[in-house]
Chains A and B, each alone.
Chain A
Amino acid sequence: MNMQIDNLKELWNKAKAEVPSADVDVPAIVSKAKSKRRSSIVAHSLNITILAATLVVITLYYFLVMRYRFLLSHVGFGIMFVSLALRIALEVISMIRAYSIDMTDTALRNTEQAVLFFKQRKRIHGLYTIAIVASYMIGFALMGPEIYNNLPLYLFAGIYLFFVVGAYILIVKIRSGIRKEMNDLEDLLALRDEIRKE
């Protein structure tokens, strides 16, 4: 096939008339757009809701059920509370950053917004998360002696076993999340350079 570059525009325009329509049912698109926005908000809020529910449960337990007497327990609760509250704040900031990625912006700015989002995720999932998970575990451990005094051994052992298994699952999940987000970040940085390149 012998084709000159100058003919491509003509060919492209002829092809446009023959391009199949996106075949989009407008009411269906509108409905999909609305439900996508809802499900996106739900998905982003889910993590925050779970963390907030945990915060409420441990607070209620602290004030209404356990009535701790050891200073160590109060310190432990304080550390857990602050750790969870910080984690929730980070998730909210991350959600706001995710919503600031504007699909109607220029390709370069859209990519830069996504780069900022993933850089922030990198920080959240990196040092911040390690520090938060570690302090949460320390806080829980500090409460151990008093919990041990107030609960039967099997229940105490069960709680701590559940805690260790939960922490392990959390760490594995975070690591896999970090790996995926780091790949996305690398792709975005390469894309940003590609857009800027002359």
Chain B
Amino acid sequence: MSAKLSLFNQIYAAHNQMVMQLCLGFVNGDRSKAKDISQEVFVSTWNSLDRFKGESSHKTWLYRITVNTCLKSLRDSKQSKNISIDVEQRADLLHHDDSTSHVQESALSALYASIGQLPEVDRLIIMMVLDDAEYSQIADVMGISEVNVRVKVHRIKQTLKKIMQNEYAD
């Protein structure tokens, strides 16, 4: 196995679920679109692997490709401005195994749906926050200052809270 393929396998195994989850959140839980975007992410990863200089971690590097691919998907498909799917489709994004309680399932469904109501850039930033990315890492992915990330995250959290309270408070 070539070194390139071995590195690709390693990156894929470590981060494919992170990529898929970010894509799912970006497209409001549409599994088919998320899968397409995830595949594009890994196609770009393969094609860019020779240029990986190790200046950042593999995860930060993959965040960048995922964020850029998600944003590019907006240009490729104009529908993304109003991505909306119905409740049944939202529920479909989850695995329906016995270990997942109904309450958690609805909570997750609500989370994806609420994230989907944020502007595209905000969606990506809050998903990286939820994914435990450091603010400095998010700044490095987005190309903005860490202070700007903090301000954005504060605002996005408030917006997300309002959305969840308005839509799902009962």
Contact = CB atoms under 8 A, between A and B. Distances in A.
B39 A191 contact: no
B148 A198 contact: yes
Contact of B143 (A33, A36, A106, A187): A106
Contact of A9 (B24, B48, B130, B164): B130
Interface in A36-58: 36-37
B16 A18 contact: no
Contact of A106 (B19, B35, B132, B142): B142
B13 to A, nearest CB: 9
- Secondary structure at chain B's binding surface: helix, strand, loop or mixed? helix
B16 A104 contact: no
Contacts of A20: 20, 31, 95
B7 to A, nearest CB: 12
Interface in A145-198: 184, 187-188, 191, 194-198
Given A15-B21, A22-B35, A24-B38, A107 B52 contact: no
B148 A103 contact: no
B68 A107 contact: yes
B20 A107 contact: no
Contacts of B86: none
Nearest to B155: A198
A59 interface: no
B19 A22 contact: yes
A24 B65 contact: no
A96 to B, nearest CB: 16
B20 to A, nearest CB: 5
Contacts of B17: 16-17, 19, 21-22
Given A5-B161, A19-B24, A11 B111 contact: yes
Contacts of B89: none
Interface in B63-77: 64-65, 67-69, 71-72, 74-75
B68 A103 contact: yes
A8 interface: yes
A3 interface: yes
Contacts of B43: 29, 32-33, 36
A11 B107 contact: yes
A15 to B, nearest CB: 5
Contacts of A29: 12, 39, 42-43, 46
Contacts of B31: 20
B9 interface: yes
Interface of B: 5, 8-9, 12, 16-21, 23-24, 31, 35, 38-39, 42-44, 46-48, 51-52, 61, 64-65, 67-69, 71-72, 74-75, 94-95, 97, 100, 104, 106-108, 110-111, 119-121, 124, 127, 129-132, 140-144, 148, 151-152, 157, 160-161, 164, 168-170
Given A5-B157, A12-B131, A18-B95, 10 more contacts: A3-B107, A3-B111, A9-B132, A24-B39, A30-B5, A33-B47, A34-B46, A106-B140, A188-B75, A191-B74
9 contacts: A11-B104, A12-B127, A103-B69, A104-B64, A105-B64, A106-B143, A114-B75, A191-B74, A198-B148
Interface of A: 1-3, 5, 8-9, 11-24, 26, 29-30, 32-34, 36-37, 102-111, 114, 184, 187-188, 191, 194-198
